[in-house]
Amino acid sequence: MHPDIRLTDSHCHLDFPDFAGELPQVIARARAAGVARMVTICTRMGTEPQVRAIAEAHDGVFYAAGIHPMRAAEEPLIRVDDLIALAQHPKFVGIGETGLDYHYTADTAEVQQTSLRRHIAAAQETGLPLIIHARAADADMAAILTAEYRASPFSCVLHCFSSGPELARAALDLGFYLSMSGIATFPKSGDLRDIFAAAPLDRIILETDSPYLAPVPYRGRRNEPGYTRHTAEAAATLYGLPLADLAAITEANFDRLFWKAAPNPGKPAA
């Protein structure tokens, strides 16, 4: 155990088959590494009951739900009211993941944008943070987030941030957060580390996106929430801080953004 270090994996996928039959051990290893909380993310509405059940069964595990942009054309468009209804659950802490992905699915850009706007409306209504996936769509993402925020403010994190400096600046200018994943530990991610180094430290949170994107020294293997610690160590080096200080700052950031998962949850003032 690492009683001096407390971390949160703000984005993982504990319902994925990669963890089948091993979930209690995965969660136990996370806690032994100092990762006290995890947010497991539902990416399609058909799996929401299973994701919710995982959160209900484990202390320190919370969940969020939405339709991943790469799935937006495969699923019925989500209703804003349905997301608002899900948000009544005490362990439902965020809206998404949603967003835009033009890398593989640029042909569905229009339906992705419609889906994204519905998720934004739910975030605006509930006060819960929007969880954004952005890939190869920086300009459209910045434009939509900016326009919708100006119409009605909401909170937001760009999860597993690996986009360019322009989208980072647009998000930070709106008061949003950037989430650092194992990508930031990769040797060839110098440009990404530069973006994080230039960002305000009070807007950074940590994640694994497990089972994907395992950080160094586990790159290429299955990722899991306990490996958040390796990304935290890389972040501490990047910011020139002791690990304990970096952990305390990112925990405070997470509590501010994901207020329902905070030790003393209470909806932030409008």
Provide the token pair at 263: 């030790």
Which residues make beta-bridge pairs with 133?
A: 99
Which residue do the tokens 């739910």 mark? 122
pLDDT band for 264, please (50, 70, 90 cuts): confident
> CA-CA distance, 107 to 31, in Å (whole number)?
41
> CA-CA distance, 19 to 13, in Å (whole number)?
9
How is 135-178 classified by DSSP, letter by letter?
A: ES-HHHHHHHHHHHHHHS---EEETT--S-HHHHHHHHHTT-EE
**Per residue in 171-190, pLDDT tens?**
999 999 999 999 999 999 99
- Ordered by start, the domain boundaries in the chain are 7-261
> What pLDDT is attached to residue 270?
40
Provide the token pair at 54: 């995982």
- What is the DSSP-derived secondary structure letter of residue 16? S
**Mean of pLDDT values over 158-172:** 98
Residue 88 has pLDDT above 50, yes or no: yes
Residue 22 has pLDDT above 80, yes or no: yes
**Per residue in 222-233, pLDDT tens?**
999 999 999 999
> CA-CA distance, 209 to 216, in Å (whole number)?
14
Which CATH architecture does the domain made up of 7-261 adopt?
Alpha-Beta Barrel (3.20)
> CA-CA distance, 206 to 243, in Å (whole number)?
13
Q: Which of 22, 66, 72, 21 is nearest to 40 (CA)?
A: 66
